[in-house]
A and B are shown apart, each in its own frame.
Chain A
Amino acid sequence: MNLWLGASVLVLLALTILLVPLWRAKNLSGAGDDHPEGSGLPSPVPTVSSSRRWLTLGLLGSLPAATFALYMYLGAPTILQEQALTQAHAAYDTDAMIKALEAKLRDKPDDAEGWFTLGRAYVVLQRPSDAERAFARAAELAPKEARMLSQQAEAIALRTGSLQGRPMELVMQALDLDYEDEKALELAGLAAYQQQQWAQSLHFWRRLMKKLPKDSEAYEEIGRAVRIAESKAVEASGLGDRARLDSSERPKSPH
């Protein structure tokens, strides 16, 4: 166990730092030479060194024990295993799933749903080119499914870094097929936002928000984007007081 090894090294280091001066001082002052009071008198060497021995034994015993006990009480000794376990699971899961899917699709290449799932997995693993191919295949097999097209659009945009051109064509096709497709609405809104067409982006995103569950992270994120777009829209059009940004008072005191 690396952690215990590291902790042991630290404890040893601490003991060295404490005990070396203690014993070196003993050698120095054995004759009482750095002590004016002791210089003329026969120094009580036996008691001093025995108390030193007790001190040393005490530190040798208590420091490791107390460190261990306090760490077990205060620390998170199992965190490393837990983290390793979670990571291993995660890695094992995606890798294994992808391998299994790829194998399955080699045997049965007409499974649109399979290609779609594989594409999503590639996106998660940040392999946009592979994802693009998988979604393209899925779209080929299921040409009436909007989500195949919109996901393919996203994969292309991730690869090229732009929504313009081919991705937007696919998004528009997807919206023609299904005007409620979430990914298509999100991308359409984003494209409009990037082109500073605030009203249009609001149109897409508000529609999207109606479809998302209220307490989801995606809902909040889109909500935030909507608020920004709203303020932009107001700024651009000068709609009046009704739509002003919430104004915070000038701080009377900093604290």
Chain B
Amino acid sequence: MIPELGHVALIIALQIALVQGLAGLVGAARSGSGLKALARGAVVGQLLFVLAGFLALTWSFLVNDFSVMNVAEHSSRHLPIEYRLTASWGSHEGSFLLWTLLMAGWTLAVLVFSRRLPPDLVSRVVGIMGLLSFCFLAYILFTSNPFMRLHPAPANGRDLNPLLQDPGMILHPPLLYMGYVGFSVAFAFAIAALISGRLDQTWARWARPWTLVAWSFLTLGIMVGSWWAYYELGWGGWWFWDPAENASLMPWLAGTALLHSLVVTERRGALKVWTIFLALGAFSLSLMGTFLIRSGVLSSVHAFALDPLRGLFILVFLAIVIGGSLTLFARRASVLRSARERAGGAAEFKPVSRETAILLGNVLLLVALGTVLLGTLYPLVLDAFDLGKVSIGPPYFNTVFVPMMVPVLLLLGVAPRLRWGQSKLSVVLKGVRWEALAALVVAGAVPFAFGAFRWQAALGLGLGAWMVLTTAGSLATRWREAGFLSLSALGMGLAHTGLAIGIVGIGLVSAYQSERTVTMRPGAQATLGDYSFVFRGVTEVPAANYSAMRASLELGRGGKTLGVLQPEKRIYRVSRTTMTEAAIRYGFLGDVYVSLGEPLPGGSWNVQLYLKPFVGWLWAGALAMFCGGFLAALGARRQTEMKT
């Protein structure tokens, strides 16, 4: 009964989305307020009915209704209740439902927070988001129905993929989707501007907070995904340049570029066409990422689905959205430019100015994005046309992507020092000479404190020091000049500092991580770095849906015992898969990471020991970026309220 009503609710939501889309777009073009009101009502209805569908699915998981195929395939009687709740978005079908739910929520948020925007603009934005929702709901209902039934119902389900039975994986998809879906707001704003031919500084002021919030969520989502990979996959890697990861990195890079170009558009009325292009690009890349992961073209843990019909549907959808928006862009972009010229506000670009620096950074970011796109799609394209299989891995990305990012990070230090309009190069360079010197000293000297000079460490430390010092310097200058720091400036400072912290972490862990595989029998001792590990044997620990072999290792340093690490090897009963659960001692200066290998005859085990210096800085940095993004969004929003 409940699943059937959930299904009906989704069917109604599909129609409401269509009403929202048509009423919103047509209403924006007409003078009456009836259609606009209808579109507003549809936004509320849309959220209610998608929520009803989502809750119906969650309910089916909670009560173990295995007559719902989705539940039978992604849950089991033995699955703990918290994972039964989250399994509702662990499946392909459920994750799209979550996407649609978040989209409905974002649309309502736009409606609530945009009361002071011109009604035509809001109506268009709502309409465009309605049409996007319609496509997603149609996709769900016609190719990925979460309420498909089984009769007779099986006695038990097939259990959730053990990789997904983890708190990190509970949070990762919703956060990532919050980011992806959030970019749809920027996309809808851009399309609305293209249709109306009006794009002024107010437009940028309105679009910016949404983009910042979306970007923040995406940052957090990527961070949680990386952290999950680190502790869950059993060998302490945190980024693999895997296509599924690249799929989320690409919209992030485009979003980062968009954030900064929006600032230029807002302050200088410049880069309008470029901003629109980035807004279209960020969302298109989000859709493409979803296509890559969901269509099953990558055979990876992210791609749970293998169904050509679904792939085709997304591909057509993608072609319509990207092709349609780019066509609109090609036809209408010139209107935007001439509107700007008519207003007489054509901003000139001086070679030494903040806008030029931002544009340069933007271009470099897009080139970096291009390298990731190439490295991700090239093997797929070759494979698709039977031209052979190539695998493009970390060596490519590390040699191509990293050098591209170095100038971006150097620019990051200089740009906030430059003035809008025009600056003198000599003054700016003189202003950062001490920071540059300090960064060089840090890069040259600090690595020796770790025992050996490594270029990754020098690069990470040097760039990190440069970014922190110049950011602090530019904030100090603003404080001196204005007597206060705006939330936007604070957010910028926090985000840039977060990036610096992350870069230091990446540099140090890449340079100084160490690992060792040892065979240990109870009582045996091994050492790695300054640490000693005493193996205390393995015990069997049963749990609800798996049974674990849990090892105990006493961790010591300098003769003192620091604690006990308990890595596990789990065998999940229903799916019969083995999982490695690493034990990690987190620390400010680095993590000690132990994972349990294979049992050997005679009661001894293979044990992998890792030292990961400063790895936690990576996630701390990403967290700071998330907070910075949010702070900047608050600041941008406050400015919007003051100015309108």
Contact = CB atoms under 8 A, between A and B. Distances in A.
Interface stretch (B32-40, B282-290, B337-345): B32-40
Nearest to B27: A25
B599 A254 contact: no
In this complex, the interface size class of chain A, counting residues with CB under 8 Å from chain B, is: 35 or more
A80 B4 contact: yes
Contacts of B16: 14, 17-18
A52 interface: yes
B473 interface: no
B41 A17 contact: yes
A67 B242 CA distance: 42
A71 B576 CA distance: 37
B8 A18 contact: no
B12 A235 contact: no
Contacts of B32: 29, 35, 48
A239 to B, nearest CB: 7
In this complex, the interface size class of chain B, counting residues with CB under 8 Å from chain A, is: 35 or more
Interface of B: 1, 4-5, 7-9, 11-12, 14-16, 19, 31-38, 40-42, 44-45, 48-49, 52, 67, 141-142, 145, 147-149, 151-153, 229, 232-235, 237, 240, 242-245, 298, 300-302, 576, 578, 597-603, 608
Interface string A9-29: 011011001111110111011
Given A17-B44, A235-B603, A255 B5 contact: no
Contacts of A14: 12, 15-16, 45, 49
A84 B267 CA distance: 66
Contact of A29 (B12, B33, B40, B242): B33
B41 A82 contact: no
A253 B240 contact: yes
Contacts of B49: 10, 14
B34 A22 contact: yes
B15 A75 contact: no
A75 B147 contact: yes
Given A17-B45, A29-B33, A86-B152, A71 B7 contact: yes
Contacts of A234: 601
Contacts of A79: 4, 67, 149, 151
A55 B42 CA distance: 14
A67 B4 contact: no
Contact of B145 (A26, A74, A245): A74
Nearest to A41: B31
For the complex of A and B, list the 6 residue pairs with the smallest distance between their C-beta atoms, beginning with the closest.
Answer: A25-B37, A255-B300, A21-B41, A17-B45, A21-B37, A76-B149
Contacts of B45: 14, 17-18
Given A71-B7, A238-B601, A255 B302 contact: yes
B234 A67 contact: no
Nearest to B152: A86
A18 B42 contact: yes
Nearest to A6: B5
